[in-house]
Amino acid sequence: MAIDLPAAKQRYLDFVASRKTLAISCLDEAGLPFISYAPYVHKDGRLYIYISRLAEHYQCIDERRQANVMLLADEADTANLFGRERARWLCAASNLGNKGHEDVFALFNERFGEKMLDLLRGLDFSLFELTPAAGRYVVGFGQAFDVSIDGAQFDHVVIDKQR
């Protein structure tokens, strides 16, 4: 069965645009895996998260300057959880602080509400910019793609089943 690449790519772009939170995987100070999540916005090929210094993943990301992030389809909307729709990327991370970047904060306001962001901006939160590199999008069995965040790279992954 041939895969309709333009349709799959559009589904990928729609999926990325539809998610509001991402899972974050990083290494803690002892080098052990740590996982969490955060609300995010997407702008110009980068992902932005706004997290508290009290959050355990804050120190992990701030010190290591990298993380793997993943977007997941809702379980309730997934026919077969073994083939759950998902996208993940390895990201370089930069702590941008809490000043400036009003264009990014405007996206957070639009997506999550201005009152919430006004409250958080008065606390100990910092904006992190995540720059995605290599990524993978899976939409079902036999439907995996190596991707860039913007879809410029969208290559079907084919596995040799004879091995």
Query: pTM value?
Result: 0.88
The residue-averaged pLDDT of 75-98 equals 90
Instruction: Answer yes or no: is pLDDT of 7 > 90.
Output: yes
Each residue's pLDDT tens digit, 20-69: 999 999 988 888 898 999 999 999 999 999 888 888 888 888 888 999 99
What is the distance between the alpha carbons of residues 9 and 106, in angstroms, rounded to a whole number? Answer: 27
**pLDDT tens track for 90-101:** 999 999 988 888
Q: Which pLDDT score, from 0 to 100, does residue 93 have? A: 95
- Residue 120 confidence (pLDDT) above 70: no
Cα gap 74→63, rounded to integer Å: 31
The CATH code of the domain at 5-151 is 2.30.110.10
Helix axes 114-121, 102-112, angle to 10 degrees: 130
Q: Sign of torsion, CA 114 100 37 136?
A: positive
Q: How confident is the model at residue 122 (pLDDT cuts 50, 70, 90)?
A: low
**Among 5-19, 27-41, 103-117, where is mean pLDDT lowest?**
103-117
- Spell out the domain ranges in the chain: 5-151
101-111: burial string, b at 16+ Cβ within 10 Å, e else: beebbebbbee
pLDDT tens digits along 130-160: 999 989 999 888 789 999 999 999 999 987 6
Alpha carbons within 13 angstroms on the beta-carbon side of residue 158 total: 6
